[in-house]
Amino acid sequence: MPVIPSEIQTFILKVALTREVEASCDDCAKLSAHLVEVLLDGAAQEQPLLAILQHLQECMPCAEEFKVLQDCAQMDLENSWPTFEEMWQRLEELR
């Protein structure tokens, strides 16, 4: 089976993005809530959190979960949670 040039390019990019300290999906799940709080307060400088930020750039499922967590934290901060009726209406619109 021949190797496609785009596969080679993807492999090279992944190798180039490799860091000495990398986070796994489990690490991301454990530290995401803390990272959201740190980002609301300022920039994340702790090495484990920087590894989580890198992981979020590379892992779509973790990035999607993190976005939901960020949105919830922002609504909590602004006290702007939708009412039950608004949430139900949004769910109905998605069907």
Name the pLDDT band for 80 (thresholds 50, 70, 90): very high
Q: Is the pLDDT of residue 55 over 80?
A: yes
Q: Is the pLDDT of residue 41 over 70?
A: yes
Q: Cα–Cα distance between 94 and 86 in angstroms, integer?
A: 13
Q: Cα–Cα distance between 91 and 85 in angstroms, integer?
A: 10
Neighbours of 65 (CB within 10 A): 16
pTM for this one? 0.69
pLDDT at residue number 46:
76
pLDDT at residue number 31:
92
State mean pLDDT over 11-21.
68
